[in-house]
Amino acid sequence: MEKHINLQTFDDDVPRARGTGSLSETKGKQEFDRDRYELARAGKQQVLKRRFGLVSMTGLSCGLMCTWESLLVIFLIGFQNGGPAGLIYGFLLIWFGNFSVFICIGELASAVPTAGGQYHWVSLLAPRSNKRFFSYLTGWLTVIGWIAALTSVCFFVADLILQLVSLNDTDKSFVRHGWHGTLLLWTTLLMCVFINIFISGALPAIEVCVLVLHVLGFFGILVPLIYLTPTHNTAKEVFTKFHNGGQWNNQALAFFVGLQGNALAFVGTDSVVHMSEEVRNASTDVPRSMLLSLAINGTLALAMLLAVLFSADNIQDLLDDVASPTSPFIRIFQQSVGSVGGATVLVSIIIALEFCSAMGCLAAASRMTWSFARDRGLPFSRALSMIDKRTTIPVVAILVVTVFSALLALINIGNSAAFNGTISLVLEGFYLSYLFALSLLLWRRLRGDLDNPTSSLTVFDSTTHIDESHDRNLTWGPWRLKGTLGAANNIIAICYLLVIIFFSFWPSQMNPDVGHMNWAVVVTGSVAIFSVVYYFVFAKKSYTGPVVEVDPHVL
């Protein structure tokens, strides 16, 4: 029997706005009531504290995406297959495509603002016959994708620290081993856990500081890079020069293979969705936050990309130096500022910001895991869905996500190629979950189901199980793109996702060896097969889609 709570009981524990109260108190109560009402429409009870506002959530999203910083870290991917011109035009394509995707994601988040995000939407939008299966598959891809994302960001931090050690190792005595990176990754994880659990109440204020640091750090690197570089490349060299380092049959194919780098730099935009049950005025501020983050991060990343390409001297020689223990962007910094110490300071800024990204990534990953467990989509769901009464955060989910991320890091000790293949699930896991949700959204949009929802409801009593995707009206939220323009954007978003997903499985070069093989297809396929088998063997009996905790019929 499902637990149902009448929404009318909410008023009993809502702080009353007294007649002498301020206008801000009255507005705050109205937002509080509206957030609970909209969450109840999705069948969910408010159990998390709404700590975040638009600015703090934008800080978390911008810091987690870490776009201009990540673009430098994975600079090599797009440059080998694309070159300077390919990087720039590919970046603009990815930026535009993400705007299209997250306008649609924003529409869904506005209609159903829950931490579950994609799997919850798929359950609501899919046909009755297979909604549970596709919802379950989407949930698994999203959970594993977030765990892989957390692991990859923590690895970036560890890897950059080790590269700084190599950069400052004047006598070349430091020999790097896989366990070095794993230990530093674990240290990064433990620091993130400490912040997310023990000072969780200060997380919104911390994320505002992260947003400020994100912008100041950008100028702290951009200004020295531009003004200390002795000579700059010409516009012709930057905007017209393409590379085909993978030896593909033509430059166009190389360009599309190189899009993976730019796409990875925008991963994590939907973090706001999974934090939506902790955001005030979620139905409007969650979509706004995602698009604002895309605008801020995209602008900063494009400026940084242009600065690096104009400032780099003999960049192809830097890329060809495969024996160097440091990444090309670190050597570009060293050439530009003319000293190891100056390059160390610039890289340290990126390390600090990547750590902030890991901190936000753990928060989003734990909320997604908690939400899927709440709906009985994971083993040991009862324990995973527990909320700590003192902090009102999912402490168990935070710890479990951390443990699995730490276990993934063990692979790096034995085989770095296998480890890279494991964390390559990040892009595919996220983009496949977006594709499922947006394809179903387009189907429902063209049918007009969200504009003219059915009014037929089953009779509700305390023993009735509510099939949410059919027994409540799914309508548009307050934030959406209307009419033909909305449908056209939905189609563009799906086309973009199909292109990126297709080329994200390609290796970086023709006839790759084991070290250059793209293991994403193996890892993603394994996760999909495991989730399908687990669903039919175990979860089919327990997973029925998002559990209805609040009776939507009384709204």
Residue 276 pLDDT exceeds 90 = yes
pLDDT band for position 522 (50/70/90)? confident
- Give the pLDDT confidence score for residue 524 in this predicted structure: 87
The H or E element containing residue 468 is helix 468-471
Q: How far is CA 297 from CA 43, 181, 224, in A?
A: 34, 28, 20
∠ CA 145-149-154, rounded to 5° = 155
**Do 74 and 426 contact (CB within 8 A), yes or no?**
no
Average pLDDT value for the chain? 87
Rounded to whole angstroms, the Cα distance separating 180 from 175 reads: 10
How much is the average pLDDT of 366-377?
96
How much is the average pLDDT of 177-190?
94
Which amino acid does the sequence have at 322? V
- Give the pLDDT confidence score for residue 549 in this predicted structure: 84
- Give the pLDDT confidence score for residue 555 in this predicted structure: 55
- Give the pLDDT confidence score for residue 165 in this predicted structure: 93
∠ CA 543-544-545, rounded to 5° = 100
- Give the pLDDT confidence score for residue 550 in this predicted structure: 79
How much is the average pLDDT of 27-31?
61
140-152 pLDDT tens trace: 999 999 999 999 9
Residue 434 pLDDT exceeds 50 = yes
The domain 34-541 having CATH identifier 3.40.50.11540: the answer here is no
How much is the average pLDDT of 228-233?
86
- Give the pLDDT confidence score for residue 518 in this predicted structure: 81
Rounded to whole angstroms, the Cα distance separating 354 from 423 reads: 16
Domain ranges of the chain: 34-541
Q: How far is CA 467 from CA 224, 315, 445, 464, in A?
A: 59, 58, 21, 9
Instruction: Provide the CA 285 distance to its chain's centre, in angstroms.
Output: 17
Residue 460 pLDDT exceeds 50 = no
Burial class (CB in 10 A: 0-12, 13-18, 19+), 461: exposed
- Give the pLDDT confidence score for residue 426 in this predicted structure: 87
- Give the pLDDT confidence score for residue 375 in this predicted structure: 94
- Give the pLDDT confidence score for residue 13 in this predicted structure: 39
- Give the pLDDT confidence score for residue 462 in this predicted structure: 40
201-215, 257-271, 366-380, 450-464: range with lowest mean pLDDT? 450-464
How much is the average pLDDT of 503-512?
87
Q: What share of the chain is helix, strand, coil (3-state, %, to 5)?
A: 70, 0, 30
Residue 20 pLDDT exceeds 80 = no
How much is the average pLDDT of 252-264?
93
14-18, 101-105, 131-135, 306-310: range with lowest mean pLDDT? 14-18
Residue 6 pLDDT exceeds 50 = no
**In percent, how much of the chain has pLDDT > 90?**
62
How much is the average pLDDT of 76-95?
93
Rg (CA), the chain: 24
59-68, 397-406, 408-417: range with lowest mean pLDDT? 408-417
Q: What is the pTM of this model?
A: 0.90
∠ CA 311-308-428, rounded to 5° = 160
How much is the average pLDDT of 290-301?
97
